[in-house]
Chain A
Amino acid sequence: MKIGAALCVLLLSVIAVHAAEIATADRKSGFEFMGRDTQAMQTDDTSNPGMLNVLDGGALWERPEGADKKACASCHGDASQRMKGVAARYPAFDATAGQVVDLGQRINLCRRDHQKAPELAYESRDLLALSAFVARQSRGQPIAIADDARSANALMQGRKLFNERMGQLNLSCAICHDDNWGQKLGGTSIPQGHPNGYPLYRLEWQAMGSLQRRLRNCMIGMRAEPFSYGSSEFIALELFLMQRAQGMAMESPAVRP
């Protein structure tokens, strides 16, 4: 199985020579590449395991934290109103941080500055739960990355990382996700690599995970050394992926195989 997958990867690197961006009309969510059972699991909120984390996140939203004993809800109120569409705009340039931040980092800025509470670790249960809860409020909303000169550099870096070959197999993200989507890699379909369902429940993980965890998986598959959680490279890649999926509907929390 492993050897099979490695051979397929080698073949791919031989066939694909140019990276052409996917036309807007041809864009497809990872949802469309899944089997019917997995699709049904995602669309029914009582069978989508990601909803367990959303419920956890909803409880955290209401819970007073830190020195000032303030909850997210103390300042932001009703999430269904105030957080609608927010996740669809991240990563975004943040004036306080003076750089582009993703949703998890934005939540941690609030913990640090507004709640005076310790930041939550990447991939920790609580950060995933809060991110999933906030992202859930954007379900069905179109991805809307702002056209902002202050994030232009990060966007350019993300595009470059997506198209650049890396790792021992000398592959780029674009070779799989622009040029060979819809083909098979071993038993799995290669999706277009859109970020519209995160954080999501992956059956292979048997757990919730962030977009960065997914990107680490792809980089390990390419035999490249994964960037670290929260690195500027990952933020840039996330920003580029969101921009590439501009207008597509958010699905968080999605389910993926």
Chain B
Amino acid sequence: MARALINVPQQAKPGEIIEIKALISHPMETGFRVGHNGQLIPRDIVQTFICTYDGEEIFKADYSPAIAANPFISFFTRATKSGDIVLTWRGDNGFEASETVHIQVA
């Protein structure tokens, strides 16, 4: 599976604003570049990123070919309850990667 670097707090107080940061290893090949043989290099990008918190979708992003290799994303949410934060990336050629962090809210 693709390597990812995840920065999600494992503990938070109820109502606290937390930052979620994630970086995934991916070439983000645009589909517009020409290879050595003069042929187009086929597009190979991450298409969507989804974050769920205790089963509920809280953040979603659609990616485009203009996004650089190894895309980094960061966003904020409010810690409401203990549960799993699951980050999932899906893309061309059946690409799928997922990371889970358990957050303790008390």
Chain A residues near B (Cβ < 8 Å):
41, 44-49, 51-52, 55-56, 203, 206-207
Contact = CB atoms under 8 A, between A and B. Distances in A.
A206 B66 CA distance: 13
Interface residues of B, number: 14
B6 interface: yes
Nearest to A207: B69
Nearest to A206: B69
B68 A206 contact: yes
Contacts of B74: 47
B13 interface: no
Most A CB contacts (10 A, CB to CB) among B5, B7, B25 go to B5
A165 B33 CA distance: 35
A35 to B, nearest CB: 15
Task: List the 7 closest A-B pairs by CB distance, nearest first.
Answer: A46-B7, A206-B69, A49-B70, A46-B5, A52-B25, A52-B3, A47-B72
Contacts of A206: 28, 68-70
Nearest to A201: B70
Contacts of B6: 46
Nearest to A41: B72
A180 B29 CA distance: 36
B68 A203 contact: yes
25 contacts: A41-B72, A44-B21, A45-B5, A46-B5, A46-B6, A46-B7, A46-B21, A46-B22, A47-B23, A47-B74, A49-B23, A49-B25, A49-B69, A49-B72, A51-B5, A52-B3, A52-B23, A52-B25, A52-B70, A55-B3, A55-B5, A56-B3, A203-B68, A206-B28, A207-B69
B62 to A, nearest CB: 20
A155 to B, nearest CB: 36
Contacts of B68: 203, 206
A46 B74 CA distance: 11
Contact of A47 (B3, B21, B25, B28): B21
Interface in B5-22: 5-7, 21-22
Interface string B71-105: 01010000000000000000000000000000000
A46 B7 CA distance: 6
A25 B28 CA distance: 42
Nearest to B2: A52
A206 B23 CA distance: 14
Nearest to A55: B3
Given A52-B23, A52-B25, A47 B70 contact: no
Nearest to B4: A52
A46 B25 CA distance: 12
Most A CB contacts (10 A, CB to CB) among B6, B21, B22, B70 go to B70
Contacts of A207: 69
Contacts of B7: 44, 46-47
Contacts of B69: 49, 206-207
Given A52-B5, A206-B69, A206-B70, 5 more contacts: A44-B21, A46-B21, A47-B23, A203-B68, A206-B28
Contacts of B5: 45-48, 51-52, 55
B70 to A, nearest CB: 4
